[in-house]
Structure 1
């Protein structure tokens, strides 16, 4: 067993996951979301590792007191980019970790923009299952979708997961970030979701810029050449084709 390590050891965030903070808008807010800024975020991981609690704590602002196994639950939220003022739409897809629901779960991967891959800090097996079970499943259905590795239940006194092992797993699956958090104490919950939304938002803007560069014509290269003028002396020496 190991106790909690320093922040530098327990998490990292790649540049694609930085740059913006997002404000969760309540139902009473009159919003006009940008139709292009709609993203789908799916969370997967072992059953009982805390996936539903993470979503509930973020969306409702409180920790659920009773455990309710999830089969599938989707929540639509609206968020304001505090830097640009843009309003994005995030569809959060909660999934079941049980093997019995694999056929249903794999349907949730379609059109996803980011996968939150969760494990519990008090269950080492949940981390070991990531490279053995979860990463291969994700790569089978959404190979190019960014993955954010999240260690849940950071509030427990002692961790059964060595943070260095978690970082190794994160690197092995090319995760864009690894963050430890506690849905119960709201520790790093905002960091997790700011990172999620920054990843999908930054990727969208990056694709937009690339699309504009690709579609912009290069000045002068596509002009129709003008016909050369023919002088009288030139016309006189031309001979008709036999």
Structure 2
């Protein structure tokens, strides 16, 4: 590995760790970097999933204050994410590599769209909560064991196990629509569930998938720093700036992936 490749991969890990903690979709930073340096999309995905595990854990730990009192709820959500991650990783390893390379530009495009529309979704959630407050029923949250909520978390787990980009955005949209908890608490729950998906999928990949361990080490070190910074200063950063970086990098990734197939 060329030394400046290593530096850029580590820096991408820092930025991804920060973005995953604050917004989600850090994979849209690291994945294009790895593909640009010649790694296959499958190897980039598996190495990325494992490498970002420490960062997602660091981000979850950083939100421990917001997670107080959420233990019972997490006991319900975590198994859904874990089982979904297993299913998604099996899909990645079972389908032909050509199938993944064909669909991954679509998945990246979906992730970019989700990042773009997230402010509108957040605004809709806020208006919904204000309307409930006016009706006097804001204290009636969705039951912790809601079948719909758990099913959607499971489906996001499948997506995350197959391709991790934007799973955090999906989780925030789902929980924001179906739960009445404050946004920062939802962000803490999102970080825990994303960490679970990455840990489970990464464990599967580590034993049976093509992995670049030098890349994993660089991303792991960078993402831990990024996750810590994200939890520390994330509330002070402009979401618009972070979202703009994600969109630009995501569009560049789509162009590069499409050109690879031409």
What TM-score do you get using the length of structure 2 for normalisation? 0.26
Give the strand-richer structure, 1 or 2: 1
TM-score, normalised relative to structure 1: 0.27
Larger RCO (alpha carbons 8 Å, 6+ apart): 2
Bigger Rg, structure 1 or 2: 1
